[in-house]
């Protein structure tokens, strides 16, 4: 039981980094990126191929590029940089020219293009089989499975704490106010002399880097990754966690990640399938949909709404209260 909760905490920290990065793009700047998990996949692949070295003979015909043996922290950073490069490409292809629904459609197209390339090019990341046998970050140290999970949890928690601090600083900085102004009205923000494209560029790069690091942590933990792991549905789960937790709130995104991705997704694995293996996945999707509908109906700002919106609504509600009637003289 202790190992189960430790595993939930480790995966929860990794998923919280992903939701926090998505919150920077969508919650802060209003950039609807439906292929955000693809950036995590690129980070996972690059982290693997820069730290695994040559594939051992007992793994069969596994094939992948680079085959470097760099230290795992360097591999994590390179995974984040690779995700940033993909984010830079998407910014110049889509974000600079498209908005709203069209941007979301193009982002899905970018994800599908990456998915097709990774799946069909066997020499890139071993095709549809993916990379596996990623060495643990503890090296050859004799450590138990629970001990390694504790190490991953410690590293992931440290990364989450740092990225939370970054998200908090951005939110309270002039740059964060520019992002929220761009989110609400790009034309109005530009009329005040703010660089709309510059703000969007930087926030996509930061969010992409966070996704790449989270993907690197994930593959260092599970030691394998394949194209089935970054389908569009993975991004939709992250988006649901963000909306339920509170879009635009750096605390709400973390709470949404733990509640939706860990509590609902992981705990639902223990639901009996009654001889139907597809039942658990269906129940899981239904639960997420029901929770999302309920939250949007009764608390549209999420469990922890954006602070500025909450204050605005409070003041607006106070303004609508009728004044007490004056007594007649």
Residuewise pLDDT in 10s, the chain (329 residues): 788 889 999 999 999 999 999 999 999 999 999 999 999 999 999 999 999 999 877 777 889 999 999 999 999 999 999 999 999 999 988 887 777 678 888 889 999 999 999 999 999 999 999 999 999 999 889 999 999 999 999 999 999 999 999 999 999 999 999 999 999 999 999 999 999 999 999 999 999 999 999 999 999 999 999 999 998 889 999 999 999 999 999 999 999 999 988 888 776 766 676 777 777 778 888 888 999 999 999 999 999 998 754 444 444 455 445 555 555 54
Give yes or no for a contact between 244 and 153, defined as CB atoms under 8 angstroms apart: no
- At 64, is the secondary structure helix, strand, or coil? strand
**CA–CA separation, 279 and 284 (whole Å):** 9
Q: Which of 179, 218, 239 lies closest to 35, judged by CA? A: 239
Report the first-to-last Cα separation within the chain, whole angstroms: 73
**CA–CA separation, 309 and 293 (whole Å):** 20
- At 225, is the secondary structure helix, strand, or coil? strand
pTM of the entire predicted model: 0.91
Q: Residues with Cβ < 8 Å from 214, sequence gap 6 or more?
A: 14, 15, 17, 18, 21, 40, 43, 159
Specify the DSSP class assigned to residue 65.
Answer: S
3-state percent helix, strand, coil for the chain, nearest multiple of 5: 75, 0, 25
């Amino acid at each position: 039981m202790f190992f189960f909760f430790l595993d939930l905490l480790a995966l929860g920290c990794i998923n919280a980094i992903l939701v926090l990065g998505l919150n920077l793009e969508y919650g802060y700047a209003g950039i609807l990126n439906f292929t955000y998990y693809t950036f995590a996949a690129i980070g996972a692949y690059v982290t693997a191929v820069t730290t695994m070295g040559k594939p051992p003979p007992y793994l069969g015909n596994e094939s992948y590029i680079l085959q470097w043996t760099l230290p795992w922290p360097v591999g994590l950073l390179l995974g984040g940089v690779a995700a940033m490069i993909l984010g830079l490409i998407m910014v110049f292809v889509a974000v600079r020219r498209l908005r709203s629904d069209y941007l979301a459609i193009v982002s899905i197209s970018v994800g599908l293009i990456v998915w097709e390339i990774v799946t069909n090019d066997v020499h890139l990341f071993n095709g549809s089989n993916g990379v596996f046998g990623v060495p643990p970050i503890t090296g050859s140290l004799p450590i138990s499975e629970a001990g390694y999970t504790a190490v991953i949890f410690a590293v992931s928690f440290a990364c989450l704490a740092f990225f939370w601090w970054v998200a908090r600083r951005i939110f309270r900085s002039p740059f964060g106010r520019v992002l929220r102004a761009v989110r609400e009205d790009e034309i109005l923000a530009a009329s005040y002399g703010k660089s709309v494209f510059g703000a969007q560029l930087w926030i996509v790069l930061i969010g992409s880097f966070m996704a790449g690091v989270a993907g690197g942590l994930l593959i260092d933990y599970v030691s394998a990754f394949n194209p089935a792991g970054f389908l569009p549905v993975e991004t939709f789960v992250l988006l649901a966690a963000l909306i339920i937790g509170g879009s635009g709130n750096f605390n709400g995104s973390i709470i949404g990640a733990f509640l939706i991705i860990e509590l609902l997704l992981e705990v639902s694995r223990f639901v009996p399938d009654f001889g139907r293996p597809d039942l658990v996945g269906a129940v899981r999707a239904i639960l997420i949909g029901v929770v999302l509908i309920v939250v949007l109906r009764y608390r549209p700002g999420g469990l922890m709404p954006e602070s500025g919106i909450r204050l605005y609504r409070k003041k607006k509600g106070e303004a609508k209260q009728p004044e007490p009637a004056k007594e007649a003289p």
